Amino acid sequence: MKISIIGAGNIGGLTVLRLAEAGFSDIVLVDIAKGKAEGKALDLEDAGAILKYNYCIQGTEDIAKVKDSDIIIITAGLTRKPGMNREDLLNKNARILKEVCLGIKKVSPDAVVIIVTNPIDLMTYLALKIMGSKPYKVFGMGISLDAARFTNLISKELNIPYTDIEAYVIGNHGEGMLPLPRFTTIKGMKLDERLEDKKIQALMKKTLERGHEIVSLSGSAYFAPAQAITVMVKAIAKDEKRILGVSAYLNGEYNTKDICIGVPCRLGKEGIEQIIELDLNKEEESAFLRSAESIRKHLKLIRPFCHGL
Ligand code: APR
């Protein structure tokens, strides 16, 4: 199995290490910055020699080297800097994504592609349009990371292990995300049977603010994102049929059409093998539709990048 990662920054570099440790032995790391991917690949291979793991990591500036990859992860792009608004980030990253996706399309049109570049839901949509791939082959990472954050906060609040918690979050990977306490369980018991509503609301708010909290304290989040990507790659490579939250292209599911947004999906060797439709109540459904709307209203900003394809 050949895995390629575009973007050898914080998330890309750490993801390579996690994947190599998980037993993936043929990895290509690409970055536009001269020498960056090559240098990281050498360092990562030295780490393998310490562990006596025989993996091979090729670092390069040449995107054509991702040829015939089974899975490609895109982490190329900017992180939001203080003073940069979302639209600036969107424009800059859309430009980068377009270049990267056109490169992938030439040499690896059938790969499963995982988008990590922010804003994830819009970048996933753009990647799909540029590559013209089947919608189940291209999806975004974001929302499973938010579910992990919700899990962690519940665990700390109730002093119980992560393994006892099954947390659900849907919606956009951003302010419009929707933690779902009614679907979240602790050892099979509903969260609202274990915690009073006021506490649940506070945990939901903290989940929403978590990304911003980490960025303002340490500059960026990459440990948990790299872990979330690794779990997805394993689910695909090992055909696990595991349910994980991903930004998926909806075509009528959840009464939503023609956007990518976070929903639970069954992942297997083809990519998304099933979109799971949760039985939302009226209130949850309107919150989800609001979240979808917040993505849809930005679609006009990325449409110019689809012209002339
Ligand atoms: N091709 C390849 N690599 C590129 C390109 C390109 N066209 N443009 C930028 N890059 C590389 C940069 O050189 C940098 O090494 O992408 C890398 C991004 O790394 P970091 O700045 O460390 O960002 P990181 O924290 O890894 O986040 C990457 O994921 O979660 C999102 O918001 C985050 O959009 C950001 C992305």
Does 110 lie in the same domain as 36? yes
Say how many Å lie between the CA of residue 20 and the centre of ligand 1: 20
> Is any atom of ligand 1 closer than 6 Å to the C-beta of 236?
no
Lowest-confidence segment of 186-190, 204-208, 237-241, 276-280 by average pLDDT: 186-190
Q: Residue 307 has what pLDDT?
A: 78
- Looking at residue 262, its pLDDT comes to 98
Q: Does residue 94 sit in the same domain as residue 186?
A: no
Residue 308 has pLDDT above 90, yes or no: no
- Domain assignment present for 227: yes
Same-domain check for residues 58 and 173: no
Give a yes or no: residue 309 inside a domain. Answer: no
* 114 vs 306: which has the higher pLDDT: 114
**CATH number of the structural domain spanning residue 82:** 3.40.50.720
In whole angstroms, give the CA distance from residue 97 to residue 109.
15
- The residue whose C-alpha atom lies closest to atom 22 belonging to ligand 1 is 9
Considering 119, 140, 161, which residue would you say is the last residue of a domain?
A: 140
The CA radius of gyration of the chain, in Å to the nearest whole number, is 19
Over residues 275-304, mean pLDDT = 96
Nearest-atom number in ligand 1 for the CA of 220 is 25
Whether residue 195 is found in the same domain as residue 60: no
3-state secondary structure the chain: CCEEEECCCHHHHHHHHHHHHCCCCEEEEECCCCCHHHHHHHHHHHHHHHHCCCCEEEEECCHHHHCCCCEEEECCCCCCCCCCCHHHHHHHHHHHHHHHHHHHHHHCCCCEEEECCCCHHHHHHHHHHHHCCCHHHEEECCHHHHHHHHHHHHHHHHCCCHHHEECCEEECCCCCCEECCCCCEECCEEHHHHCCHHHHHHHHHHHHHHHHHHHHHHCCCCHHHHHHHHHHHHHHHCCCCEEEEEEEEEECHHHCEEEEEEEEEEEECCEEEEECCCCCCHHHHHHHHHHHHHHHCCHHHHHHHHCCC
Q: Which of 140, 162, 177 is the last residue of a domain?
A: 140
173 is catalytic: yes
180, pLDDT greater than 80 = yes
For residues 27-40, average pLDDT: 98
Is the beta carbon of 31 within 6 A of some atom in ligand 1?
A: yes
Q: Say which of 173, 212, 298, 307 is annotated catalytic.
A: 173
Domain with 70, as residue range(s), is 2-140
19 C-beta closer than 6 A to ligand 1 = no
CATH number for the domain that contains residue 299: 3.90.110.10
User: Six-digit token pair at 219?
Assistant: 């500059």
Q: Verify that 169 and 271 share a domain, yes or no.
A: yes
212 and 268 housed in the same domain: yes
Instruction: Please work out whether the CB of residue 36 comes within 6 Å of at least one atom of ligand 1.
Output: yes
pLDDT score at 87:
79
69 and 125 assigned to the same domain: yes
Same domain? 167 vs 280: yes
Of the residues 140, 174, 198, the one at which a domain ends: 140
Instruction: Give yes or no for residue 164 CB within 6 A of ligand 1.
Output: no
Report field, pTM of the whole predicted structure over 0.95: yes
Q: Are residues 214 and 156 in the same domain?
A: yes
pLDDT of residue 192: 86
Please give the pLDDT value at position 11: 98
What mean pLDDT, rounded, does the chain reach?
A: 95
> Is residue 6, in this structure, part of any structural domain at all?
yes
CA of residue 80 to ligand 1 center, whole Å: 11
CB 300 within 8 A of CB 290: no
Instruction: Kindly report, residue by residue over 36-95, the tens digit of the pLDDT.
Output: 999 999 999 999 999 999 999 999 999 999 999 999 999 999 987 766 777 789 999 999
Q: Do 209 and 232 belong to one domain?
A: yes
232 and 182, same domain (yes or no): yes
Which residue's alpha carbon is nearest to atom 6 within ligand 1?
Answer: 32
pLDDT at 263: 98
The Cα 120–Cα 100 span in angstroms is 15
Sheet of 71-74: strand order equals 56-60, 26-30, 3-6, 71-74, 112-115, 138-140, 242-251, 257-268, 271-275
Q: Is 140 in the pocket of ligand 1 (CB under 6 A)?
A: no
pLDDT, tens only, 128-138: 999 999 999 99
Ligand 1 site-directed mutation target among 4, 6, 11, most atoms within 8 Å of CB: 11
Q: What is the pLDDT of residue 309?
A: 73
Specify the pLDDT at position 103.
97
Given this model, what pLDDT does residue 85 score?
73
How far apart, in whole angstroms, are the C-alpha atoms of residue 285 and residue 292? 10
Q: How many domains does the chain have?
A: 2
If you average pLDDT over residues 3-27, what whole number do you get? 98
Model confidence at 288, pLDDT cuts 50, 70, 90, reads very high
The amino acid sitting at 167 is A
**Residue 158 confidence (pLDDT):** 95
Q: What angle in degrees, to the nearest 10, is found between the helix axes of 223-237 and 10-21?
A: 50
Q: Place 160 in a pLDDT band, splitting at 50, 70 and 90.
A: very high
181 in Cβ contact with 191 (< 8 Å): yes
